[in-house]
């Protein structure tokens, strides 16, 4: 328990090693199509070919449509091909396997810079950010841009952090997720309500357990589903 709390505190002080820069301020309008990001309609099955083997991810467009849609869009753009798993924490207790920094695919990127990159939208030349997206039992749609710390509300989350959960990394700004993602190596209720889970490992969790810092994500592709829409209605 003490170690778990220390990891959670570290996360708050330096969340996933990302840099809080140029993230947009909260606005009144979030949802499908905002910031040029489509939503995932239904499910999608994504395959990651890594240097340790194949991992399949099931993405949930019903519970996290914007976050899952952003991921599918980036997969189809090839944003993850050749990137590096730049942050793997297994000690003192299992924590996360994190990757998806687009700049990590470039050999000239210094190791010290890994974990600071975002997806740069070629149409605008600007980083693309998405808001924190959380869906709760009994609510008709997700909440956006709002960190939830109430234990009572956290227990109502439709997608909590369980072993194998797939979620978006971000900086201290809840609206600063871009391309970087992580896979939970254990249940982590201390992250619930703070980071957006949008899927889980469907196959290959044994491969995830073998991934070490510096291993490569060779390619990512959509195997099934993956219908993207600009309007969730």
Condensed to tens digits (0 to 9), the pLDDT of residues 92-101 reads 999 999 999 9
Say which CATH number the domain at 167 has.
2.40.100.10
> Would you say residue 186 lies in a domain?
yes
> Would you say residue 30 lies in a domain?
no
Q: What is the pLDDT of residues 171-228, one digit of tens each?
A: 999 999 999 999 999 999 999 999 999 999 999 999 999 999 999 999 999 999 999 9
With bands split at pLDDT 50, 70 and 90, how would you rate the model's confidence at 232? low
Average pLDDT over residues 150-158: 96
Percent of residues, the chain, with pLDDT higher than 90:
82
> Would you say residue 33 lies in a domain?
no
> Would you say residue 37 lies in a domain?
no
> Would you say residue 143 lies in a domain?
yes
What mean pLDDT, rounded, does the chain reach? 89
What is residue 31's predicted lDDT score, i.e. its pLDDT?
Answer: 77
Instruction: Tell me the chain's radius of gyration from C-alpha atoms.
Output: 16
What is residue 30's predicted lDDT score, i.e. its pLDDT?
Answer: 77
Q: What is the pLDDT of residues 161-176, one digit of tens each?
A: 999 999 999 999 999 9
Which residue, among 132, 204, 205, has the nearest Cα to 162 in the 3D structure? 205
Domain of residue 222: give its range: 2-23+44-229
Q: Looking at the predicted structure, is the pLDDT value of residue 128 above 90?
A: yes
Work out how many domains the chain is built from and give that number: 1
Burial class (CB in 10 A: 0-12, 13-18, 19+), 215: middle
- Per-residue H/E/C for 131-180: CCEECECCCCCCEECCCCCCHHHHCCECCCCCCCEEEECCCCCCCCECCC
> Would you say residue 29 lies in a domain?
no
Q: What is the pLDDT of residues 54-72, one digit of tens each?
A: 999 999 999 999 999 999 9
With bands split at pLDDT 50, 70 and 90, how would you rate the model's confidence at 36? confident
> Would you say residue 155 lies in a domain?
yes
> Would you say residue 36 lies in a domain?
no
User: Which residues, 6 or more positions from 102, have their beta carbon under 8 angstroms from its beta carbon?
Assistant: 79, 80, 83, 117, 118, 119, 120, 179
Q: Looking at the predicted structure, is the pLDDT value of residue 10 above 60?
A: no
With bands split at pLDDT 50, 70 and 90, how would you rate the model's confidence at 27? very low
Q: Supply the pTM of this predicted model.
A: 0.89
The residue ranking higher by pLDDT, 16 or 78, is 78
């Amino acid at each position: 328990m003490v170690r778990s709390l220390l990891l959670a505190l570290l996360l708050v002080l330096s969340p996933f090693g990302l840099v809080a820069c140029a993230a947009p301020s909260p606005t009144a309008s979030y949802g499908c199509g905002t910031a040029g990001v489509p939503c995932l309609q239904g499910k999608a099955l994504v395959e990651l070919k890594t240097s340790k083997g194949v991992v399949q991810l099931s993405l949930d467009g019903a519970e996290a449509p914007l976050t899952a849609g952003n991921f599918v869009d980036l997969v189809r753009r090839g944003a993850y091909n050749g990137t590096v798993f730049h942050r793997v924490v297994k000690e003192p207790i299992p924590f996360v396997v994190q990757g998806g920094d687009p700049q990590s695919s470039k050999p000239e990127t210094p190791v010290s810079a890994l974990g600071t990159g975002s997806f740069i939208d070629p149409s605008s030349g600007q980083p693309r950010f998405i808001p924190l997206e959380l869906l709760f039992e009994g609510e008709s749609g997700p909440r956006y841009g709002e960190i939830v710390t109430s234990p009572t509300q956290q227990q109502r989350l439709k997608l909590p952090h369980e072993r194998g959960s797939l979620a978006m990394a971000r900086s201290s700004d809840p609206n600063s997720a871009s391309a970087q993602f992580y896979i939970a190596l254990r249940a982590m209720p201390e992250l619930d309500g703070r980071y957006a889970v949008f899927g889980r490992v469907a196959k290959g969790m044994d491969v995830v357990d073998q991934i070490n810092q510096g291993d490569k994500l060779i390619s990512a592709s959509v195997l099934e589903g993956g219908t993207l829409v600009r309007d969730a209605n």
